[in-house]
């Protein structure tokens, strides 16, 4: 078995375990307006992300372009669903709002921590500020 295959299996196993339980807890928290369960779900999703970072380190790789794209799409769709639910549903309670704000904030903070830890503050800003970087190369 190649290291690439081993890494892929490790990452899929980590996400299947932590992600499935995280999703179950988050949905349970939103459904029952249970802040502890909802936040536990987001913590498990953040743990899956952290475990993925560790797996990348163990195998000496970085996130693939597909993993990055999937992560951004899932985050954007989830955040959009939360905001639309907040606006449209009349019985979307305060506990659900607290779960969503704290949970999505946690995931954003985990991403920012990863970027700063791996690339430094300056490197992270340079990666995000691609318009300025393209103009500087000309």
Q: How far, in Å, CA of 47 to CA of 96, rounded?
A: 21
Measured in Å, how far apart are the chain's first and last C-alpha atoms? 44
Please choose, from the candidates 66, 60, 68, 58, the residue with its C-alpha nearest in 3D space to the C-alpha of residue 115: 68
What DSSP character marks residue 110?
H
Distance of CA 135 to the CA centre of its chain: 30
Q: How far, in Å, CA of 87 to CA of 29, rounded?
A: 19
Please choose, from the candidates 16, 15, 22, the residue with its C-alpha nearest in 3D space to the C-alpha of residue 106: 22
Tally of domains in the chain: 1
Q: What string of pLDDT tens digits covers the 138 residues of the chain?
A: 888 899 999 999 999 999 999 999 999 999 999 999 999 999 999 999 999 999 999 999 999 889 989 999 999 999 999 999 999 998 898 999 999 999 999 999 998 888 888 778 777 777 777 666 565 555
Domain limits at 66?
Answer: 3-137
């Amino acid at each position: 078995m190649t290291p690439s295959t081993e890494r892929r299996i490790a990452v899929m196993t980590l996400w299947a375990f932590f992600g499935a339980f995280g999703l179950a807890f988050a949905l349970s928290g939103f459904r029952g307006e249970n802040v502890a369960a909802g936040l536990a779900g987001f913590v498990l999703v953040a743990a899956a992300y952290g475990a993925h970072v560790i797996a990348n380190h163990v195998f000496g790789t970085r996130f693939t372009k597909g993993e990055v794209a999937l992560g951004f799409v899932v985050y954007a769709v989830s955040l959009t669903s939360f905001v639309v639910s907040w606006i449209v549903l009349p019985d979307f309670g305060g506990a659900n709002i607290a779960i969503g704000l704290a949970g999505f904030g946690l995931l954003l903070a985990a991403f920012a921590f990863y970027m700063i830890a791996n690339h430094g503050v300056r490197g992270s800003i340079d990666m995000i500020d691609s318009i300025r970087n393209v103009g500087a190369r000309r």
